[in-house]
Amino acid sequence: MRDDLIDEYSTTFDEFKVELVQGSGGVFEVMVNNALTVFSKRQVGRFPKSSYEVIKTIDDSLDERRLG
């Protein structure tokens, strides 16, 4: 499943480097361009509800000019 999510993000946002950074104990973060954390399981205490949750956060970051 993790590879599917990475493929989906990379396809949707091919101009950005989207990474799933794995930590210990099942914790992970979704990072864009090694600078912006768009989802952190450590911070929210759960997995994303869907890939849309992460994609919407990236879209919002673009709209707010935090990316690009």
Which residues neighbour 68 within 8 Å (Cβ) at sequence distance 6 or greater?
Answer: 15, 16, 62
39 belongs to a structural domain: yes
pLDDT surpasses 60 at 63: yes
The rounded distance, in Å, linking the Cα atoms of 68 and 45 is 28
Please give the single-letter amino acid code of residue 22: Q
> H-helix or E-strand containing 29?
strand 28-32
Q: pLDDT for 24-53, tens place per residue?
A: 887 778 888 777 788 888 888 888 888 888
Whether residue 68 lies inside any domain: the answer is no
Q: What is the CATH number of the domain that holds 38?
A: 3.40.30.10
**10, pLDDT greater than 70:** no
Q: For residues 47 and 51, what is the distance between their CA atoms, to the nearest angstrom?
A: 10
**Whether pLDDT at 15 is above 60:** yes
> Domain range spanning residue 48?
2-63
Interhelix angle 51-63/2-12, rounded to 10 degrees, is: 30
Higher-confidence residue of 12 and 61: namely 61
- The number of domains in the chain is 1
Tell which wins on pLDDT, 17 or 4.
Answer: 17
